[in-house]
Every structure is written in C-alpha cells, then in structure tokens.
Homo-oligomer: A and B are copies of this chain.
Amino acid sequence: MAKFLTNRDENYAQWYNDLVIKADLAENSAVRGCMVIKPYGFAIWENIQAELDRMFKATGHVNAYFPLFIPKSFFAREAAHVKGFAKECAIVTHYRLKTDEDGKGIIVDPTAKLEEELIIRPTSETIIWNSYKNWIQSYRDLPILINQWANVVRWEMRTRLFLRTAEFLWQEGHTAHATSEEAQEEAERMINVYADFAENCMALPVIKGYKSENERFPGALDTYAIEALMQDGKALQAGTSHFLGQNFAKAFDVQFTDKTGKLDYVWATSWGLSTRTIGALIMAHSDNHGLVLPPRLAPFQVVIIPIFKNPEQLQKISEAARKIRSELETAGISVKYDDKDNNTPGWKFANYELKGVPVRLALGPRDLDNSTVEVARRDTLKKETIPVASVTENVKRLIKDIQVSIFRKAKEFRTQNTFYIDKWDDFVKTLDDKGGFIMAHWDGTADTEEKIKEETKATIRCIPFDAPEEVGRCIYSGKPSKKRVLFARSY
C-alpha cells in the first residue's frame, strides 16, 4: 500500500489531491488556478483525444481552429451567454511591455492599450458564429459539423487539479443545421457519443438526461448531460451537449435560404468534454494503493519488471523481457520495460500500482529457469505465475477483463448508492449520511429546485432520458410530479 497517500476513507479530497500529485499526473503552476499537466497525465489526455476524435470523425465531423480571443462586444450580443460568463473572464487590455523609467523592471506600456478589450475564450460560440455568418447562405451550405480541440479560460475562484482549473483543455463541437429537428438530433447524437466513450473507454457508468432550466448552458434551449457517481457519493458531470435553437444565429444574424427559397435563421448545437474527465477517471476507480486506470486509456497497459541480483542476471532477464514486450506490442498492447537499476523491484511494484498500470509482469531468475512469468492485475491486485508461452494470450484476456470488471464494479457501486426517496427527511438524511444518487419527484419549478439546493447543497443533476412516467409528489413541495429526477451533491 502506498503509504504516502492519505487514506481514501479518511479524507477523500486529500486522497484525491495526493494521488494526482504522487502519480505524476499534474501539479499547480505559478499562475493562480492553472495547472501543469505532466507527461503521465497528458498521455491519458492524448488517449482520450484519440478515441473521441475517431468517434467524432466517424459521425461526420471535421476539426478546425478559431481564435483564442473574442472581442468584448461579441459577448454582449447573446444576453444569457454574457450573463453566464461575465464574472469569470480573463481580459486582455494591452499588447506591449516596456522597460520602466528607472530601467530596472518591466511594465505594461500604457500607450499600447487595445481599442476594444479581448476576452480569452471561456467557450467559442460567439467567435464561431461570427465566422459562420460568412460561411452560410443557403441550405446547401448546411450542415456544418465542426469540432475544435482547444484551451479555454474560466476565472474560477476555487480551483482543484483537473476538476476545476482557470485554464483547461477541451474539445468543443459547434454545428449548424437547417432545421430544429436536425439540430436536436445532433445534440442527442453527441451526448450518446459521450456516454459511449464514458462507458466503454473510461469504464464509467453514466446517466444521460436533460438539465433543468437553471442548470442549462447560458444561451441554450436545452442541455443534455452525462452524470457519473464518484466514490465519495458526489456526482460529476462528464460531458454536455446543447441544443442552442436559433439564439446564436439571431445574435450574429446568420440566415440561410431554405429549399423553398425562404429566409430563416440557422439552428445550432454545441457540445464539450474537457480535462475534467481525467478527474472523474481518477475518482471513480482508484483506491488506497493509487490509480486504477481503464486499459483503453492507460498510457501503457503493461509494465515488465526484472528481478535481479547482478548485471549478468539482468542481461538474461532483459533478453526474455524484450521478447515478451515485442510479442505484446505486435498484439497491439502498449508496454513499458523498466530495467532501471536505481530502484528496487519492491519500489517499482508500489510505484506502478500507484500509477495504475493495468497489468504487471515480473520476471526473476527462477522464472527464467522455469519459463514462467508472474502476472498481476492492478484492479484486484491478484497475481499468478503462468508459462511464458501463454503470456500474450493471457495479457490480452486480462486487459479486456479489467476494462469490463472496473466498469462493472463502478456500476455496482452506483446501484448500491442510488436511492429512490419519497420523504424529505429521508432525502436530507441520505445526503448527509451516504450521499449518492437520489431519484426523487420534483414539481418542475425553479423555485423548488433553488430551495432544495439552499437547504441541502444537492442539485438536480439531470432529468434522465429513460425516467419512467409515474405518479408522485414533489419531495419538497408535495405538488404533483410525473417522473423522478436525479438529485446529488456534485463536483
């Protein structure tokens, strides 16, 4: 057990922070609220990018790049949008530094002031729709299905590594359509892509649903989200997709001629998923030994560790290890062979457990004699000794099995921590004692939602797509309700 980690059950928040730092995923930078994503953490993001990018392209999207800067006036055009983001904007006002008068320091040159201030994008609807205006004249120019991989900035006051940082990396899709139906279909398609990615790549079970009006993206007519349950009983939103109606088309005057020759405003969606999901990945699966990574996103899926007493042994073991590595790599499995001699095998075992490498192979002199290798899986920590001849086949199976097992485990945890509650006292008590997902009736008003939040800190995470119609009464107001919604405290 990684003794430098805070115990998960004693202090979950500290355990999380320790884990991010000790597993070398990220650290705070000298700039308030901005993190450095270290190579091991960034390799996870690269794998996330590769999987999502493939899925976006398979659904007809292409990538492009729009400016980092947004003229201040663009924000003012969509009322809800500016209201939502005004309080957390980083603003560029000048474009030159100079040496100060005593020649000792550098200062902002007051004569180099911008005529109009530029906002660092917190999201790109406004700058993108200003471009789309020139791209769209007729229905023949539609749909536009564009995605952008980019950094964005939201000046958050309280930040946490991955979960909430002033600058973060994400992808943002921005699509334009001829009809409302087509745009709504697109928004749904993409929340399904996110759910597919979360469940199959991240091994993270999610609930798909609508956001309540209060929780919608600023400027959207409808926001769909995927919500996941973390091990401390709090919810985390792992991706959102928005049906924007004609709001941005109207704000930027983007009209098109339809098939009948009539002018209409263009329909829009946007959808995004960020480095925040790395936080979800960590919190959903990891334990007191460290990270547990799903094989599909792990920087390397297998680590091979030699156990040796002298250089001669190491040489022989290395020969066998490299053969195994090459065989695994041919089978499409990513492998690291760690033959550094400045750490003991025991230290390495603990270190790769901490780093969540799905499969560990250990190879000592006795293994060499017996043509065996020790195989350990990170999720259960179980190990066994197997013949070298079957190692590739074994590892292939293990990798599939770990991916499925950690998903199943997370889903079981969610099932055990999802509560159908009908009484207000139980609602409050459950939140305080256990947390978890609470399925409860709600009267559909923003007022009730607000009061529940004030009294319990729980919010409506989403109105699940698949919530069955059932007669009930609002957990708070007692007014009639037709379906349960998902409540939780959240990140």
Binding site for B on A (CB under 8 A): 27, 29-31, 34-39, 42-43, 45-46, 62-72, 74-76, 82, 86-99, 105-106, 108, 117-120, 127, 130-131, 134, 140, 146, 150-151, 153, 155, 167, 169, 342
Contact = CB atoms under 8 A, between A and B. Distances in A.
Nearest to A165: B67
A331 B342 CA distance: 46
Contacts of A97: 72, 75, 82, 86-87, 89, 91, 119
Contacts of A64: 36-39, 42
Contact of A39 (B74, B89, B108, B146): B146
A127 B29 CA distance: 8
24 contacts: A27-B131, A30-B71, A30-B74, A30-B127, A30-B131, A31-B70, A35-B67, A36-B64, A37-B64, A37-B65, A39-B64, A39-B146, A46-B63, A67-B167, A69-B90, A72-B97, A87-B96, A90-B94, A90-B95, A91-B94, A91-B95, A92-B93, A93-B94, A140-B342
A31 B91 contact: no
A76 B98 CA distance: 11
Contacts of A96: 86-89, 91, 155
Given A91-B95, A92-B120, A131-B36, A153 B82 contact: no
B34 A69 contact: yes
Contacts of A155: 95-96
Contacts of A71: 30-31
Contacts of A86: 96-99, 106
A214 B461 CA distance: 59
A88 B95 contact: yes
Given A88-B95, A90-B95, A97-B89, A36 B68 contact: no
Given A62-B39, A131-B29, A68 B167 contact: yes
Contacts of A63: 39, 42-43, 46
A26 to B, nearest CB: 9
B62 A43 contact: yes
